[in-house]
């Protein structure tokens, strides 16, 4: 038989009633009490855990997923007018990712007049990314201006360079349409007079090609 703790043994000599009362406390609530069975745990609220750990389903919606065929983006009659003597089919420039970046080039020398036209597409991850790239590119230009009614925003600039007394005038149009950038480069030289075509000729030619290129992009939407 298990011996009682010392305080209870002493109390037993003095008062059996007190002993019984003390023993009852020791067995039910005191140090001799048997451990109580653990009751059911309250149900865990997993709502917050799920919401915190669940992956986000929100995705960036892209208007354009791929670049259109650049050599088909400008009408044949436009190529004939802007680049006389060039093969209207153009030549696509090799790209590391034709889904995202594609460029077509036309160039020809007819008599002493030389013309060059490039149309380039770049598809970006979002409208914000395209907007940032557009602002970065146009921020490096000076002397140009906005082209109203072309994509979401567009910018045109014309510059004249001279090398060995030969002038070359080049126009660049950069347009943003949602998450896509369209860049058109058009330049020309006259090797007989050493002069370059007029600013208005180059600027209007570049803008015309850019409008057709943006229209081709929008036609292939979705």
State the CATH number of the domain containing residue 152. 2.60.120
User: Does residue 203 have a pLDDT over 70?
Assistant: yes
Same domain, 19 and 78: no
Q: Is there a contact between 191 and 114 (Cβ–Cβ < 8 Å)?
A: yes
The pairs formed by 198-205 with CB atoms below 8 angstroms and a separation of 24 or more are 198/169, 199/158, 199/160, 199/169, 202/158, 202/169, 202/170, 202/171, 203/156, 203/158, 203/171, 205/81, 205/82, 205/117, 205/171
User: Does residue 11 have a pLDDT over 60?
Assistant: no
Confirm whether 206 is domain-assigned: yes
For 144-202, how does the pLDDT look when each residue is reduced to its tens digit (9 = 90+)?
Answer: 999 999 999 999 999 999 999 999 999 999 999 999 999 999 999 999 999 999 999 99
162, containing H or E segment: strand 153-163
Same domain, 89 and 144: yes
Q: Is 20 helix (H, G, I), strand (E, B) or coil?
A: helix
Confirm whether 40 is domain-assigned: no
pLDDT in the model for residue 75: 97
Same domain, 27 and 74: no
User: Which structural domain range is residue 79 located in?
Assistant: 70-219
For 55-91, how does the pLDDT look when each residue is reduced to its tens digit (9 = 90+)?
Answer: 444 455 689 999 999 999 999 999 999 999 999 999 9
Q: Is the pTM of this model over 0.85?
A: no
Average pLDDT, the chain: 81
pLDDT in the model for residue 141: 77
Same domain, 118 and 171: yes
DSSP line for 74-98: S-HHHHHHHSTTS-TT-EEEP-S-T
């Amino acid at each position: 038989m298990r011996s009682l703790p010392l305080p209870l043994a002493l109390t037993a000599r003095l008062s059996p009633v007190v002993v019984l009362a003390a023993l009852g406390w020791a067995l039910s609530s005191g140090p001799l009490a048997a451990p109580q069975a653990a009751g059911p745990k309250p149900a865990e609220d997993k709502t917050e855990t799920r919401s915190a750990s669940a992956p986000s389903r929100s995705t960036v919606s892209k208007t354009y997923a791929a670049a259109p065929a650049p050599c088909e983006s400008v009408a044949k009659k436009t190529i004939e007018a802007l680049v006389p003597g060039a093969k209207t089919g153009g030549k696509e420039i090799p790209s590391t990712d034709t889904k995202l970046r594609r460029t077509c080039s036309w160039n020809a020398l007819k008599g002493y007049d030389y013309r060059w036209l490039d149309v380039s597409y770049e598809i970006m991850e979002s409208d914000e990314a395209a907007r940032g790239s557009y602002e970065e590119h146009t921020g490096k230009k000076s002397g140009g201006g906005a082209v109203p009614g072309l994509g979401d925003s567009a910018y045109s600039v014309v510059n004249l360079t001279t090398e060995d007394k030969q002038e070359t005038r080049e126009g660049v149009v950069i347009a943003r349409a949602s998450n896509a950038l369209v860049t058109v480069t058009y330049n020309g030289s006259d090797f007989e007079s050493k002069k370059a075509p007029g600013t208005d000729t180059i600027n209007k030619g570049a803008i015309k090609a850019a409008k057709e290129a943006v229209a081709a992009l929008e036609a292939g939407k979705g």
